[in-house]
Amino acid sequence: MTAKTNQKAQSDAEQVAATPPSLRVLRVLRGEASDARRCYHRLLTLVLAAWCLAGPLAAQDVDYARAEQMLTWNLLPLLHGEPGPPRWLDGQRFWYRVPRAGGAAFMLVDGAAATQRPVFDNGRLAAAMSLAADTSYAPERLGFENFDFDGSDTQIRFRVRARQFRCELARYTCAASDTTASLPASFVRSPDGRLEAFIHQYNLYVRPAGGGDSVQLTQDGVRYWAYGVTEPRALAQLRPVPVRPVLQWSPDSRRIAVQRTDERGVGRILLYTVTRRRPQGFAFPYAQPGDSIIPRYDIHLVDVESRRSTRVQTEPQTQQVNGLVGIGPDSSWRTVKWSHDSQRLYYTHATRGPKRVQLMVAEPGGSTRVLVKDSTASFVELNLDNGESPNWRVVNDGRDILWFSERDGWGHLYRFGADGRLVNAVTSGPWAVATLLHFDAATGRVFFTARGREPGRDPYLRHFYSVNLDGTGLILLTPEDADHRIWMAPGGRWFVDSYSRIDAPPVTVLRAADGRLIRPLERADVSRLQELGWRGGEAFTVKARDGVTDLFGVMWKPSNFDSTKSYPIIDHIYPGPQIIAAPKRYYPTHDAGLVYTAAGQAQALAELGFIVINVDAMGTPYRSKAFIDTWYGNMGDNGIPDHIAAIRQLAARHRFIDIARVGIFGHSGGGFASTDAILRYPDFFHVAFSTSGNHDNRTYQYHWGEKYQGLLQRDTLRGTDNYESQANYRMAENLKGKLFLVHGDLDDNVLPSSTLRVVDALIRADKDFDLLILPDAGHSLSTDPYVLRRMWDHFVTHLLGRSPPPDYTIKGPPSG
């Protein structure tokens, strides 16, 4: 090597050595230090020089750097062409935002004309914004994701931080101001746009839109018995944020239905922060299973003009979220709906459990009557899709009611008359309705998503259908073998369909209500992911514990997978019972949620040298009622026997899986389940990492245990109850493997005491374990870089038998 060449190599090596380890290794792996396709030996020279200057890169440094690039927040910017939800302007036009290589594009679509065009030119708009604001905006980073048309298609307004822009697109001129504030979430505007409702000092007020003199509508609201709000929990007291009050305007803007919650006498919980010189405590109501006093609410109908408030005459009920007993108030309050003429309020009423749910109607004077009801020995669901609206509609001017029920063993839609009598089943068969999306009064067609109807396909994939109200004429509107996410246009003439599978990137199209393709909109570009070495998950099918029932899961392998090697297997568990763990859509996705966040971390973990799996056990949703109720009343089951059966079958199927080295990890319910697994089956699971686990559901919120374990029943003779068998602390003496417990000390969802009770039992049993308590941390820890790095270290140490790289730091998600 000549002196000049050596000098050049020395300079390049110093630059490489100065690069952060994760980027240094990634650039070597991806060929960014030079063009790998034309000069592989150049890479080798740089790596060797860096080795000499900075010390050799251990294999685990390389693995950690590669794993870091597979974390959710590092993958999402590499996915282009997956649009956000459509923003409908009317019954046929909408716009959407879509990430692309040169910056996000904003597209305007006209269904009737079957046209699609950019709303604006990013470069010209950035220049106009820069001129108006006397600052610099780049075409690829405009700084906003939402906008409103301001009177025409050529004028828009939007907000970039504290600055308001109004731009005219024909000539690309903008005006910027700092005076217009966004409407806080705590103000709810009336349908006619004239008034805003809000809560102050526990009472309901209205004021003119945009500000002005307020009018107090209720007088008797007090702390713990407030209109529209509940007492804030610990984190909300520490870091207050605006919260939407629980209320609904009538369509004519003359009345407001508002929830009034009674938390008087509910047991209090005290959490505190210790990071300050003087610890500060936060007390809040928190009901647990078996408590005689739990939060209950009434509905009040308030006339804005007369300021008269009328209480709806039904027994106070427990909180509901989407027809389910839930964590707290549903701020969108989708369990109530005004009639189109604003004369009646329809709402659901649930018992504790909830073992019975009724659809009721309230008249203007507050009198009520039951329209439809459903009950079960376990629990009633009104939508198997967690987070979606309850599946009921009052249609045809009140003459017909669409109602979801699992009364025949599967989730289906039924038609009832105004008198509450069953008219006919709208859907039927060994498959399950997912979400009721639209009813077309003109044609009498019902539009809904469903799972499991198409033979030979994964039964978890959603498809879109329409059917006549009398149950005839069922039509499949989305034929592709994929999971279909649907957005229906107002009026129901069109719908946007985004479909994908775990092995198929998203495709987005516009269709007519009869399923005809109007035009393609977007196809996701995954080329940058492929350049990174993204492998993606692989779907698999195994048998459940009974040897008969099919279970479905996803396997994640390292990108440098070698089938001749032997890999430990790690099970990512979330037992539900309200959601599944194995993703069905392509990952990564901008349609983020618990499942997809976990999937990203699963792939990252696999990069360290593991096989990682997700599998949906019996006792999880979207299938038959019998399947869902498999371990009702026995939450200690957690589906773990099915996970063991799945791992054994996969190990028998694939020689690269080492069943003598089995790990498991999970968060929240998964933290409960992963600890349960290593304690209940200590000879099968060897290493566990458990975060924020509800390890004893008697210490968790009443709604959860009472729904899935049943109402708490005490056995006074034996001094126990029907919850005792599910508590993890009981099995502390069984621990043989390596258990790591993690919790945030301000977790006001799953209380820290849930984990500390297990800690106490482990100490009493003289067991070795690891514990991490995060100061001022709440419940969500799946994106905490420090927690992730400790999880990686835990599995690398105890399953691979290697030393983790010292002082490795994972860079967290970008802020803001």
pLDDT of residue 597: 61
Question: How far, in Å, CA of 594 to CA of 585, rounded?
Answer: 13
> Order of strands across the sheet with 475-476?
432-440, 445-451, 462-468, 475-476
Q: Residues 19-49, buried b or exposed e (16+ Cβ, 10 A)?
A: bebbebbbbbbebebbeeeeeeebbebbbeb
pLDDT of residue 600: 67
pLDDT of residue 168: 97
pLDDT of residue 411: 98
pLDDT of residue 25: 42
Beta strand 87-88 pairing with 720-721: unpaired
pTM above 0.85, yes or no: yes
Question: How far, in Å, CA of 245 to CA of 457, rounded?
Answer: 42
Proportion of the chain in helix, strand, coil states, percent, rounded to 5: 20, 30, 45
pLDDT of residue 13: 42
First to last CA, the chain: 49
Question: How far, in Å, CA of 527 to CA of 535, rounded?
Answer: 12
Q: Tell which residue, 405, 398, 402, has the closest CA to residue 357.
A: 405
Question: How far, in Å, CA of 616 to CA of 624, rounded?
Answer: 14
CATH number for the segment(s) 182-332: 2.140.10.30
Give the start-to-end residue ranges of the domains of the chain: 3-52, 87-177, 182-332, 527-800
CATH number for the segment(s) 527-800: 3.40.50.1820
Contact 634, 708 (CB under 8 A): no
Q: What 3-state class would DSSP assign to 41? A: helix
Cα atoms in the Cβ-side hemisphere of radius 13 Å centred on 266: 24
Q: Which residues of the chain have pLDDT under 50?
A: 1-56, 321-329
Q: What is the pLDDT of residues 3-25, one digit of tens each?
A: 444 444 444 444 444 444 444 44
**DSSP state letters, 432-461:** EEEEEEEEETTTTEEEEEEES-STTS-TT-
CB-based contacts of 35-39 (< 8 A; 24+ apart in sequence):
none
Question: How far, in Å, CA of 335 to CA of 347, rounded?
Answer: 6
Q: What is the pLDDT of residues 306-317, one digit of tens each?
A: 999 999 999 999
pLDDT of residue 718: 87
Q: What 3-state class would DSSP assign to 31? A: coil
**Fold matches, 182-332 and 527-800:** no
What would the two tokens of residue 185 be? 């979430």
pLDDT of residue 182: 58
